[in-house]
Structure 1
């Protein structure tokens, strides 16, 4: 008897989802992107960003009888002004942003709620000054198919041009390409590849071949600069080279 009652209750719960449970990852995407665009605006003009993919990061239970999925999108922000100090106050007031202890250990992070069902966190990258990581999590959502083809855009040849030029300076070949975007117009093309031997410091190579635009920041492993409004991040790790080229929000 109790088994019948429990099944009936599960059916009722599954047939009467909450508002959040009616919103698929596709429906949540504009709000996710708007929250990340707000972070880019709050970070200031002297920064370069790299937009990550909107992707599934886990599974979950919507109800006792209904499975769901969790999606997330990340944006990396680089530059001397990419600091948590003051960021909380520059986000929209309705986000109710506040500073909390970081879940990765020491330090603080900014936590905000752009909408009742989204969570925004902004934290400083560990042992990497001038690098912020902003993440928006959707929480548990109903699945309507995976992957969503609309989220898997392909970079055009002109969009690949800046990264290809950088790879040529390192005598390396890009092996994979990824194109990601935000609704504000920001878009990132990421190229990843390897060289036949360990790579030199990006600064050493790029300083020897001066690039157009303006240097934002650099260290032994990364070189960040602006080229006619587009932000480039060049990262070398052993024989692996990664280049992101990002157009800003319009």
Structure 2
């Protein structure tokens, strides 16, 4: 059974999934111990049960503080900021914090881990590993904040599209403006009045979020997929078919005077990209 299976068999708490996705996909996080904070880059991973593993040299000041904090409930704070992966205003999509209890990582855990868990552990810097057991998880977004239950956080798994979201949305924005024009026909025209462009800012297994950007404001609109997916390309095909059924009644969106970012040529084979209208 793959890690994604629980996400599809039982609908998980969406806040828990977003928190897990942000932690899993982010290349960095901020570690705070009391009044001291340090940014860790390419030095963390998250296990299947929600335990966060950090690679920190115990002989450094930060490592020394981790040693001192061992076993103290909630003494460790981890912060991750999830950014919109394309160039837009207001790029912060979500902020996640975890309060946890740290202890030295037990290598015996590897005996029960699958390869998808072990490989990220092997990619961590070759220093001491620390396990942080979460006791509080919080999520903050523009639409409000939430406290994620620890049980929901532990049982949720990262969204299947989270790992590739940045790459896929950047490729869609840079190389497939024609696809975005078609997708924009599925948005209520009232919401795109005065918008200079429509760009994708987030995607998950249930849908894609488009942002209509005007000079002084923006509006985010979610286009749901017909069912949960593991591929953005499959979701786009569904939405483009929906747009095609609307036919000439809803021609591709254009904005008078709009300045479109020059589109790069997609040099990926169609079978690999899957986002082309051709």
The TM-score with structure 1 as length reference comes to: 0.28
The TM-score with structure 2 as length reference comes to: 0.26
Q: Which has the higher strand share?
A: 1
